[in-house]
Amino acid sequence: MTDTVLDISALTLSFGSLRALDDVTLRIAAGERLALLGHNGAGKSTLFKAVLGFLHPDAGRISVAGHAPGSDAARVAINYLPETVSFPRSLTGREVLGYFSGLRGAPRAAIADLLERVGLAQAADRAVGTYSKGMRQRLGLAQALIGAPRLLLLDEPTSGLDPISRHDLYSVIAEAAGRGSAVLLSAHGLEEVENRTDRVAIMFRGRLRAEGTLEELARRAALPATIRVTAAEGAADRLHAELGGQRINGARLEIDCTPETKLALLARLTAHADLLRDIDLANPGLAEIYRHFSKHMDQEDRT
Amino acid sequence: MTRMITIFVQEFRLARRNLWVLLATGVLTLFALALAFLGAGQGAALKADVLSLTAASLATLSVYLIPLIALLMSYDAFSGEVERGTLALTLATPVRRWELFGAKFLAQTVAAGTAIAISFLLAGAAVVLVYGAAPAGLAAWASLTASSIALGAVFVAVGLTLSAAAGRTALAAAMAIGIWLVLVVLYDLALLGGIMAAGEGVFASHVFPWLVLANPADAFRLYNLAALDAAPVAGIDGLARTLPFPPYAALGALALWLAGALALGIHRTKRIVL
């Protein structure tokens, strides 16, 4: 049996007539990383605030390591990094961590180690005002690692960061998960979280559209792969007649195929090897998969 | 308790780093010294104790400066944290909202109080060194210092309450300036207008003194001027002599304002939506 840290079931939350969260069910186990994707206003931040106990749901249930959101036990279990946070510029990194350690009742002796883990040991006693954007975000993350959290809530931790800072941030997150923290983070695109989280959940207009590993999502989307064939001189017409698909120009042909028929189609193509000059196989990208789940929802809404 | 100490330490550190304490100390010391030595000639002519006289004029000036300093220190305390996103982080920890409000209030009151105590101590020492001191003068100076700190505490509580209620820094700043204008400047003008229109009568003897008492800034001034027998006072301040209640009642008014502002502030802090 897995150790479920965050258990959200059938959560619904409205602001007036706007349904910010609609029947959201989600579970995260200790040591697991889940990325929550969605457009701006999809309900990601609202979900975080409900888990923190800042917002109260209309229906449904949230349990944080077995405790109700907002209770002391739940507050100690969760560490949070909001989407935008700027610490007072005149405080040093060490002082910021000292403040939050004091509020959480965590030992101050651990602060040096935290600063080390996020690579801020050198800058520990400099004012936050002198930090770069990446350093401030790492300080925010260090703050979120105080006291070995059971659940890490990271609201778009990498927005606005350069690729290297982003990479560093994800290694710290992976390390925290390795120590047993459950991680729920939000992001804008699948490309960013590929190979960096265990599971992905896609939100659209307050509803959880899809959830699973990237492979599962790709399979469920069942998007066609595209095979582009360049025919040998004068053979394009014959190939088109034989295989179908769309003519791009005099010599090229584009054929869509499902994952199941892909191999068979390739076998037929190799049978006509004498008519081919080149074959190019394009599998559906992450952006297409993401778009598929968002678009799908759109159509459902209109009906 | 640990949590309140943690917040207190951080808030006091911020007040110091933002140079509020230094600035307030400098401004208050300069004004106190200027009043003491520029007004000293008048004191000698009146054969009055210079320390008592300076305490009287400093009381009328402190009524403007101390509320302003206290409001400037506190108006950003919650709204700024809402805008910077740090309030959400703080409230995600087990801290109680009343603890947050209480610790911020204590830290800023201590910061403002330190500035007041240092500058009045410096100026008072300078006056005593040059003109000597009478026991009455020392007593007046001490009660001026203590009541100034109380006045600072009231306006820190008012500023924090505005900050928690406004939620946005720009709005909190506007509200702080507004409340300063109303309580410190306009209220007096309105009362003065009222007493001139009404003349000697029931209003002047029975309503007016209570209206003075109802405003923390006027209550502060009333307390300090009524306690000074030697000081020549005129206008609104002259009424301090014909009060239907003892001067100490003015301290009670300050205490009521403080309690009210703290209660309302904690209530508003609990209602901040993140």
Instruction: Give the ipTM of the model, two decimals please.
Output: 0.87
To 10 degrees, the CA torsion angle through B140, B144, B146, B151? Answer: 150
At B196, the pLDDT band (50, 70, 90 cuts) reads: confident
The shortest CB-CB distance from B92 to any of A52, A98, A102 is to A52
Chain A neighbors of B93, CB-CB under 8 A = 75, 100, 103-104
Candidate CATH numbers 1.10.3720.10, 3.40.50.300, 3.40.50.720, 3.30.950.10; the one for domain A4-219: 3.40.50.300
Chain B neighbors of A95, CB-CB under 8 A = 10, 13
Chain B neighbors of A88, CB-CB under 8 A = 14, 84, 86
The per-residue pLDDT for A303 is: 41
The low-confidence residues of chain A, meaning pLDDT below 50, are 1, 301-303
Give percent of chain B with pLDDT exceeding 90. 61
Domains A4-219 and A224-283 share a fold: no
Chain A neighbors of B7, CB-CB under 8 A = 99, 103
CA distance, residue B154 to nearest chain A CA (Å): 26
CA distance, residue A55 to nearest chain B CA (Å): 8
Chain B neighbors of A87, CB-CB under 8 A = 84, 86
- Cβ of A78 and B92 within 8 Å? yes
pLDDT at B47 over 80: no
- Which residue in A has a C-alpha nearest to residue B99's C-alpha? A103
Q: Please provide the average confidence, as pLDDT, over all residues in chain B.
A: 88
Chain A neighbors of B95, CB-CB under 8 A = 103
Query: What mean pLDDT do residues B108-127 have?
Result: 95
Contacting B residues, span 94-153, partner chain A, CB-CB under 8 Å: 94-95
Using one digit for the tens of pLDDT, what is the confidence trace for B223-257? 888 766 544 544 445 555 567 777 788 899 999 99
Which amino acid is residue B18, in one-letter code? N
pLDDT at B45 over 60: no
Using one digit for the tens of pLDDT, what is the confidence trace for A119-135? 999 999 999 999 998 89
- Cβ of B14 and A78 within 8 Å? no
B56: enclosing H helix or E strand:
helix B50-74
Which amino acid is residue A5, in one-letter code? V
Query: Which positions in chain A have a beta carbon within 8 angstroms of at least one beta carbon in chain B?
Result: 49, 52, 54, 72, 75-76, 78-88, 90-91, 95, 98-100, 102-105, 143
Environment class of A102 (CB within 10 Å of its CB; exposed 0-12, middle 13-18, buried 19+)? buried
C-alpha closest to that of A111 among A63, A88, A143:
A143
Question: CA A47 to CA A8: how far, in whole Å?
Answer: 10
Q: Is B128 helix (H, G, I), strand (E, B) or coil?
A: helix
Task: Give me the residue spans of the domains in chain A.
Answer: 4-219, 224-283
B10-24, B164-178, B197-211: least confident range:
B197-211
Task: Give me the residue spans of the domains in chain B.
Answer: 2-270
Question: CA A271 to CA A262: how far, in whole Å?
Answer: 14
The per-residue pLDDT for B240 is: 53
* Paired strand residues for A226: A256, A282
Using one digit for the tens of pLDDT, what is the confidence trace for B165-189? 998 999 999 999 999 999 999 998 8
The per-residue pLDDT for A257 is: 83
CA distance, residue B272 to nearest chain A CA (Å): 10
Contacting B residues, span 14-43, partner chain A, CB-CB under 8 Å: 14, 17-18
Give Cβ neighbours of residue A198 (< 8 Å, ≥ 6 apart).
A32, A33, A34, A213
CA distance, residue A256 to nearest chain B CA (Å): 48
Q: Look up the CATH number of domain A224-283.
A: 3.30.70
pLDDT at B13 over 90: yes
